[in-house]
Amino acid sequence: MASQDAAPKLYAAQEPIFPKRVKGPFRNFKWALMIFTLGVYYITPWIRWDRGPSLPDQAVLVDLANRRFFFFWIEIWPHEFYFVAGLLIMAGLGLFLFTSALGRVWCGYACPQTVWTDLFYTVERWIEGDRNARLRLWKQKWDFRKWRLRVTKWIVWLLIAVATGGAWVFYFADAPTLLRDLLTGQAAFVAYATVGILTATTFIFGGFAREQICIYACPWPRIQAAMMDEHTITVAYRDWRGEPRGKGKKRREMAEAAIESSRLAGPTIRGTEPGATSAPEVEAPGDCIDCMACVNVCPMGIDIRDGQQMECITCALCIDACDEIMDKVGKPRGLIDYLALTDEANERAGNTKVPVMRHILRPRTLIYTALWSAIGVGLIVALFIRSEIDLTVAQVRNPQFVTLSDGSVRNTYDIRIRNMTAADATFRIGLTSDDVLRVDLEGSQDLMVEVPADETLLQRVYVIARPEDAASGRERTDFRFWVEEFGTEERAFGDTTFFGRGQQ
Amino acid sequence: MTDKPQHPEEQVLQEGDPDTTGHSWDGIKEFNNPLPRWWLWCFYLTIIWGVAYTVLYPAWPGISGATAGVLGYSTRAEVAEEIERFDALNADLRTELTEVELASVTRDDTPELYNFALQAGAATFTTWCSQCHGEGAAGVQAAGYPNLLDDDWLWGGSLEDIQMTIAHGIRNEDDPDARWSEMTAFEGILSDEEIAQVVNYAMALSDEDGDGVNASNHAYDTTLAGTGENVFLDNCAACHGDAGDGDRFLGAPNLTDAIWLYGGSAEAVEETVRHSRFGVMPAWSGRLSEAEVNATALYVHSLGGGE
Ligand code: SF4
Ligand code: SF4
Q: Could you report the per-residue pLDDT of A30-39, keeping only the tens digit for each?
A: 999 999 999 9
Position A8 scores a pLDDT of 56
Ligand nearest to the CA of A309: 1
Q: Which of A210, A212, A233, A235 most suits a substitution to test ligand 1, by most atoms within 8 Å of the C-beta?
A: A235
Does residue B16 register a pLDDT over 70?
no
pTM: 0.73
CB contact under 8 A, A407 and B304: no
Q: Where are the alpha helices (DSSP H) in A202-272?
A: 211-212, 220-224, 239-242, 248-257
Q: Does B141 touch chain A (CB under 8 A)?
A: no
Helix/strand/coil percent split, chain A, to 5: 45, 20, 35
Which ligand lies nearest to the CA atom of residue A236 in the structure?
A: 1
**φ, ψ (nearest 5 deg) of residue B4:** -65, 150
- Identify the pLDDT of residue B1: 38
Contact B24 A410 (CB under 8 A): no
pLDDT tens per residue, range B209-251: 888 888 888 899 999 998 999 999 999 999 999 999 999 888 8
Check if B229 contacts A (Cβ < 8 Å): no
pLDDT category of residue B6 using cuts at 50, 70 and 90: very low
Collapse the DSSP code of A167 into the 3-class scheme (helix H, G, I; strand E, B; otherwise coil) and give the result: helix
Torsional sign, CA A212, A217, A219, A225:
positive
Which residues from B are below 8 Å from A306, CB to CB?
Answer: 4, 7
SS3 A377: helix
Q: So what's the pLDDT on residue A200?
A: 94
* Among A131, A119, A121, A128, residue whose Cα is nearest residue A31: A119
Share of residues in chain B with pLDDT > 90 (%):
48
* B235 to chain A, closest Cα gap in Å: 24
Pairing of strands A11-12, B35-36: parallel
Q: What is the mean pLDDT of residues B50-72?
A: 89
Q: At B142, is the secondary structure helix, strand, or coil?
A: helix
The answer on pLDDT for B4 being more than 50 is no
Q: What is the mean pLDDT of residues B255-279?
A: 90
- HEC readout, A324-374: HHHHHHCCCCCCEEEEECCHHHHHHCCCCCCCHHHHHCCHHHHHHHHHHHH
At residue B11, does pLDDT exceed 70? no
pLDDT exceeds cutoff 80 at B34: no
A462: closest chain B residue by CA = B304
- CA–centroid distance, A288 to ligand 2, in Å, is 5
Asked whether the beta carbons of A467 and A454 are under 8 A apart, the reply is: no
The list of chain A residues with pLDDT below 70 reads: 1-10, 255-284, 503-504
Scan residues 235-254 of B and list those with Cβ closer than 8 Å to A: 254
| pLDDT confidence of residue A263 | 43
pLDDT for position A120: 93
